[in-house]
């Protein structure tokens, strides 16, 4: 996994948009963003490691999502646009990248800057409930990821706005950052 500040230069969202300013693991942890690198291998040991993380964090369900034109058909462009709208969820968002590559952009609360996190196969990312973020593929236009859920699978985005800023999960997230000088 690689994290850096988004360059904010207009252009295709699927390009790297690398400002050249790296973001440390400490900054991500201060935002309550977690990451594991679990190499995918033929022995299946990665599955046992995912099971361990799932048990430790209380994830009971999982599914696989293929974000490709072939898999999503006529909904492909609409889905990509929806994923790239700034939003938050009332649950953690957990993704384990199985193949392809993509970017999660995470809003740094104190500066409002975007932090771009590049995921490649073997990266497991956990975004806390209430954090503003967005997702896009890279220029190869394909990603396959395992999604993990604490309860029944659901994915309800709450696009950023006045009502979402007042959402209890958002308020709890912002409160959890108070007193943390890194954010």
Which residue blocks in 6-75 are alpha helix, DSSP H?
25-30, 45-57, 69-72
Indicate the annotated binding residues for Fe(2+).
87, 89, 93, 133
| Nearest Cα residue to 88 out of 144, 8, 5, 32 | 32
Q: Provide the token pair at 22.
A: 């790296």
In contact, 183 and 111? CB cutoff 8 Å:
no
Indicate the annotated binding residues.
87, 89, 93, 133
In contact, 88 and 170? CB cutoff 8 Å:
yes
Indicate the annotated binding residues for Ni(2+).
87, 89, 93, 133
- Residue found under tokens 């409160």: 175
Max Cα-Cα span within the chain = 48
State the Cα–Cα distance between residues 123 and 22, nearest whole angstrom: 18
State the Cα–Cα distance between residues 69 and 86, nearest whole angstrom: 22
């Amino acid at each position: 996994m690689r994290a850096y500040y988004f360059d904010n230069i207009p252009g295709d969202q699927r390009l790297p948009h690398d400002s050249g300013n790296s973001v440390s693991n400490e900054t991500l942890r201060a935002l309550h963003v977690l990451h594991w690198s679990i190499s995918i291998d033929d022995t299946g040991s990665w599955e046992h490691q995912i099971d361990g993380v799932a048990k430790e964090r209380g994830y009971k369900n999982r599914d696989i999502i293929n974000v490709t034109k072939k898999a999503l058909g006529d909904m492909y462009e609409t889905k990509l646009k929806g994923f790239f709208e700034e939003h938050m969820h009332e649950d953690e968002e957990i993704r384990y990248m199985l193949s392809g590559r993509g970017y999660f952009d995470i809003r740094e609360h104190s500066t409002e800057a975007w932090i771009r996190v590049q995921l490649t196969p073997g990266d497991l990312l956990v975004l806390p409930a209430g954090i503003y973020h967005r997702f896009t593929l890279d220029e190869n236009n394909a990603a396959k990821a395992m999604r993990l859920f604490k309860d029944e699978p659901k994915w309800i985005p709450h696009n950023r706005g006045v009502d979402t800023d007042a959402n209890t999960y958002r308020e709890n997230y912002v409160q959890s950052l108070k007193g943390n000088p890194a954010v």
